[in-house]
Chains A and B, each alone.
Chain A
Amino acid sequence: MNIINLIIISIIGTGISSISVQLITVREFLSQFYGNEITISLVLFCWLMVSGLGSLASKFFKKKSFILYSILALITGLFPLIQISAIRLFRDIMFIHGESPGFYPLFFYILALSAPYTFLIGFMLPYSLAVIKTSGREFTAGELYITDNIGDITGGVLFSFILVYFLSPFKIIALTSSLLILISLALIIRLKRYLLFFGAFLSVALFFGLAFEKRFELSTLSNQYGPNIVSYRESPYGRIVLTREKGEYTLWESGTPIFSAFNITAAEEKVHYPLCQLERIEDVLLISGGMGETFDEILKYAPRSIDYVELDPTLIKVASQSGLLSPRGKVNIIPADGRKYITDSNKRYSAIILDLPEPDTFQINRFYTKEFFAHTKRILKKDGILSFSLIANPNYLSEVRIKKLSSIFNTVKRYFHNVLLIPGEEVYFLASNGKLTADIPQRLRKRAIATSYIDGFYYGNVTKERIKSINESINPNEFINTDFRPRVINIMFNEWFKKYGTSPNWFIATLIGVLVFYLFLIKKEEYVLFSTGFATMGVEMLILFSFQVIYGYIYLKVGAIISFFLLGLLPGAVLGNRWKKRGRAMLIRAEAGMLLLLMTYLIWVTFFPSMMPEIVFLLYGFTFSLLCGLQFPVAAEIIGDKESPAAGLFAADLVGAGAGTLAIGTLLIPLLGIQAAIIALILIKTASTFVILKG
């Protein structure tokens, strides 16, 4: 095969590898740090921005060499293993073991650890085009765009629909980098650099040896989890790790310890506060948190059945195998999404107990919204009880925590006559149409139920004065929390920034400054691509968040959504390549299409924010990115290669995409809600339409 064809295949190989590495990197950072949408958008932002810089750098790189390209391609194939290992190993060097860093350290860590690879990826694409052109072969920027997309799509589909279900990150890296690595080796042989080939071959052998060696992969996790890892599984929903120290288990989900043995206080509080309120208990629904002593405590009420809903079957399996989950005859374990289960269920329950993390992600927030509470009310029996808890300091309620409690209180109060807050280790919400009492020990004595924590500590910790104070602190005017206007997410992000004593304002101001400077430098058509990149990633974020709101399991579906976006780019680019001579008229049609799609989204969110089949979101993403893909070859044709080579166009697209990710994903959606984000996108696109119209 001739060298040029090998290079073209290597572009596809780069696409397959890079998209998989991007998805693995997102998941890795989610597992290492704060697992919310801020982390996702920071990773994608850094990825796109640094890729953009890489593309720009290639514009100024004069030396065009096949051998240099081959070496860079090989490094691109091998480097992901180093990157993911480095993310794991450097964590405890850069941060204090066990600590969750704040916004700025997190941002710089993500940037530093992902920059070398992403810069290389950004550099490689335009550089490959430049190298191909030295041979005199006709290959346009549009064709390069299409070739790259073929690789991206293949990688995205492979990862999201096959590999994520079966393999660990290192093995996925090895498989998805194989094509690129093989082609690089072939290129080196074709260029007759045999000594280099020998070195390259050794590196490749080491790479595959390490990637498929389980002990090596486990060793990279021991910094975070300690040396006593009993079980390590990558589930589509997250990383499940079980550790055992002094004979006691800790179960971790994506880096967060979700269960430690002998947490009597939590088990008693979550079960007895609600259940002791009822005279008769038949069926109990428990959403998450069924490990350890929980079932024992529920069984003290001799219910007819306990339905335990847990999202991740891998988590259930690991917990069951280690004895952390010991189902009895009355317990039905249901592997399902809790919200979906409650929405679809027709069974009526005496009590629903939610044991979920704080609503600081869209996934969890949807268990604290108006829409969700309406569903819980529907499946509760008359005078049945709903219970959940939120973190709050029992000694002092800060302003931001009062807002959080008030918003959720007002939301749940819409559906239940009585809502009582009990300030235990966490603040427990009890909601029912029946009577509620805060004298839990008295109720337990009446039922002759023995407890360790409540019996001995309740009156000392949950004093009448504390109960009164917390219930009186609720502000009845605080906004209610809904799926698409997630007031609580906004509050939680404020709380997060307060915890670290930082504000994102400096970051935002710097970025805006740099962006404005960049926009002054670029050409009009580049601005169109910038705005298209911005809108595409912005819409991708919108879909991710909407999907999260409705379905919840973003960890699993992030790959599918990204794949559909990539899938749209290819036919778009092919069509654009065909119609590129039509010039500005074509660009305007694409602009109009995007504006129409955004308006549709706005109307749906505002007036009909209901369940939508998964495929609708995916098709929406596909269509939007098709229009984006269409614009690239057209804009490239208008500008011409001499005015701005491919590097400038790629850079504009990538920088726009990075800015869109951050603006929509990190700022607008969390702070102002989904509608505000759509309106911002409409404005950006309207501006670019004007730019084209003005010519």
Chain B
Amino acid sequence: MKRSISRKEFLKEMGVLSLLIATEGHCFWPKNKAEEKADIRGHVFKNDAPKSLWKWSIEGFYYTTNGTDVQCMVCPNRCYLTPGDRSVCRSKVNIGGKLYSLAYGNPCAVHIDPIEKKPLSHFYPATEVFSIATTGCNFRCLNCQNWEISQRKPEEVQHSELFPADVVRIAKEKNIPSIAYTYSEPISYYEYMHDTARLARAEGIKNVLVSNGYINKRPLEDLTRYLDAANVNLKSFDDDIYRGLNGGRLQPVLNTFKLLHEKGIWFEMTTLVVPGYVDEPEMTKRMCGWILKELGPNYPLHFLRFFPRYKLNRLPATPVKTLELLRDVALKEGIHYSYIGNVPGHDGYNTYCHNCHKILIRRRGYNIAEFNINDGRCKFCKTRIPGRWEGL
């Protein structure tokens, strides 16, 4: 039966219909940052491997193969590479059914830094560290300050030639007590780091890993045989932020901390406080809760000030008050040592005894103005101070 409706009825029905559509549509509309599932994780570069190997290649240490395809097992990306493919970190390729690293003996950055720059505040303060890096990274951090090497292929940069024995020889010649694998992501040049660290250990030189901690258990276990210290980024305590801002996942990083702790490697944790992402005290509380439960209170936690960099250049610098607030949260939660970085002249660079709260190390930048630790103990209350202080 045909029924005509009045204009009024029509408008009413249209109104109701619009509301319904709007409600339905709302389901697909991201409501806030937490609901967004941005994921910037990297991808394998198909058919991007060079035709043949170059001088600075070595067969990968951890991978599986079916004779044709390979799967890299160094980091949780577990890149599955068919012949001619290149890994997410850009350093590994499948050539002829074997996995090769193209980052071996070809560092593009070689410098001598103060150990505090890594940052490591409880590891032989005021010593030098011979720092090397090749290209590559298994993350895609939008704020990477070393993107010109971390987001490049080994063939795309100018590099020098320093095979593991050369690195150790130079460190020895220059009387530098440690070697740091740093700047880009050392896990992407795992084989080079591993071999250098092995030789360095044999020569009594210490090895320092500066990393995002995105590594699988077995290769890390293997590396810890030669490792003396690490600074590992804990970029946030939220898997969504890890995926959206860094292109990685949180859990494997937490596993790295647990393993380093189990193996007795000295490490310090660094969190870059990115405004709007990593500046919530609630998140810091949760993070500290996990640290205390799984690792204990002794590993220092550094809060670094963010400055606009690389692709994340439309955010302000972190307010210093936010850094102070997060440091206070960490200390209140029970972390014994928490530092502030990238704010020259701030008291948050100093080390205070967790027992008597007196100043142990007064720092003026990388220089030490006052040092009150004797044989690894507080000069005032004799409490053992966690870290590596032998010979100081």
Contacts and interface: CB of A to CB of B under 8 A. Distances in A.
Interface stretch (B60-68, B96-104, B111-119): B111-119
Nearest to B321: A246
Interface in B125-155: 133, 142, 145-149, 151
Nearest to B131: A395
A570 to B, nearest CB: 40
5 contacts: A96-B142, A100-B312, A226-B276, A395-B111, A395-B149
B365 interface: yes
B344 A453 contact: yes
Contacts of B277: 97
Contacts of A97: 33, 276-277, 315
A501 interface: yes
A472 interface: no
Contacts of B245: 96
B114 A99 contact: no
B283 interface: no
A461 B117 CA distance: 8
B17 interface: no
A282 interface: no
B344 A452 contact: yes
Given A401-B148, A456-B364, A461-B117, A100 B343 contact: no
A98 B322 CA distance: 18
A226 B314 CA distance: 12
Interface in A441-474: 452-453, 455-461, 463, 465-466
Return the 9 tightest CB-CB contacts between A and B, nearest first: A456-B365, A452-B345, A260-B317, A98-B315, A246-B321, A250-B316, A460-B366, A453-B344, A248-B319
A441 to B, nearest CB: 10
Interface in A379-411: 393, 395-396, 398-399, 401
A264 B343 contact: yes
Contacts of B158: 399
A460 B113 contact: yes
A70 interface: no
B194 to A, nearest CB: 22
A219 to B, nearest CB: 15
A460 B128 CA distance: 9
B223 interface: no
A252 B275 CA distance: 15
A603 B30 CA distance: 56
A460 B114 contact: yes
B108 interface: yes
B364 A501 contact: no
A245 B157 contact: no
Given A96-B40, A393-B146, A460-B365, A257 B276 contact: no
Interface of A: 93, 96-102, 195, 224, 226, 243, 245-248, 250, 252, 255-257, 260-265, 268, 393, 395-396, 398-399, 401, 452-453, 455-461, 463, 465-466, 499-501
Contacts of B354: none
A455 B321 CA distance: 24
Contact of A457 (B112, B148, B344): B344
B189 interface: no
Contacts of A458: 365
Contact of B111 (A247, A255, A457, A466): A466
A13 to B, nearest CB: 29
B235 interface: no
Given A96-B245, A401-B148, A456-B366, A395 B133 contact: yes
A456 B319 contact: no
Nearest to B312: A98
A499 B310 CA distance: 8
A256 B317 CA distance: 11
B22 to A, nearest CB: 15
Interface in B244-287: 244-245, 274-277
Contact of A395 (B146, B151, B342): B146
B355 interface: no
A465 B112 contact: yes
Nearest to B33: A97
A57 B231 CA distance: 61
A96 B38 contact: yes
A275 B47 CA distance: 54
B7 interface: yes
A395 B344 CA distance: 20
A226 B277 CA distance: 12
B365 A455 contact: yes
B240 to A, nearest CB: 11
Given A224-B314, A393-B148, A262 B365 contact: no
A247 B321 contact: yes
Contacts of A457: 344, 365-366
B319 A247 contact: yes
A469 to B, nearest CB: 9
Contacts of A256: 308, 313-314
A456 B311 contact: no
Contacts of A99: 142, 311-312, 314
A453 B151 CA distance: 30
Contact of B311 (A93, A100, A224, A226): A100
A398 B344 contact: no
Contacts of A226: 275-276
Contacts of B344: 264-265, 268, 452-453, 456-457
A246 B319 contact: yes
Interface string B312-331: 11111101111001000000
A250 B321 CA distance: 13
B175 interface: no
A93 B30 contact: yes
B383 interface: no
Contacts of B364: 455-456
Nearest to A498: B148
A500 B40 CA distance: 13
B317 A263 contact: yes
Contacts of B40: 96
A94 B137 CA distance: 25
Contacts of B149: 393, 395-396
Nearest to B314: A98
B244 A96 contact: yes
Contacts of B312: 96, 98-100
B132 to A, nearest CB: 10
A398 B7 CA distance: 69
A374 to B, nearest CB: 32
A267 to B, nearest CB: 10
A459 B30 CA distance: 48
B367 interface: yes
B205 to A, nearest CB: 19
B27 to A, nearest CB: 15
B316 A260 contact: yes
Contacts of A102: 311
B275 A396 contact: no
Contacts of A250: 316-317
A265 B316 CA distance: 16
A240 to B, nearest CB: 14
Given A453-B345, A459-B366, A465-B112, A396 B146 contact: yes
A659 to B, nearest CB: 30
A99 B321 CA distance: 24
B44 interface: no
Nearest to A401: B148
User: In this complex, which of A98, A262, A396, A401 has the most chain B Cβ atoms within 10 angstroms of its Cβ?
Assistant: A396
A187 B202 CA distance: 90
B321 A396 contact: no
B314 A255 contact: yes
A678 B325 CA distance: 58
A101 to B, nearest CB: 8
B198 interface: no
A395 B183 contact: yes
B359 interface: no
A394 to B, nearest CB: 9
A445 to B, nearest CB: 13
Given A195-B7, A245-B322, A463-B111, 15 more contacts: A96-B142, A98-B276, A98-B312, A99-B312, A260-B307, A263-B307, A393-B145, A395-B149, A396-B133, A398-B148, A456-B344, A459-B366, A466-B111, A499-B147, A501-B151
